[in-house]
Structure 1
């Protein structure tokens, strides 16, 4: 599955990940069991799960 299509399910109208919780590192978020990094421009990409713990 395309990573961007998978992430699109989790993004709200503002571009935030719905139900995301901040991880232990700034810029990283946990959502639906996955780890994401948010770039300063607002783009989210899936990240290594170890970065969120």
Structure 2
């Protein structure tokens, strides 16, 4: 794990083969989308509870 971090810092993903670059980019995008999706779920649930007077 530490090796990968050091590698990324020293040279960046440009040293990696194209396929791996694309996979990493896709993984980052997917992680962001998942994070936004979870955030919206939690927020909607919170608003719904407020309406129902649970909070």
Asked which structure has the greater CA Rg, the reply is 2
TM-score greater than 0.5 by the shorter chain:
no
Higher relative contact order (CA 8 A, sep 6+): 1
**TM-score between both structures, scaled by the size of structure 2:** 0.28
**TM-score between both structures, scaled by the size of structure 1:** 0.29
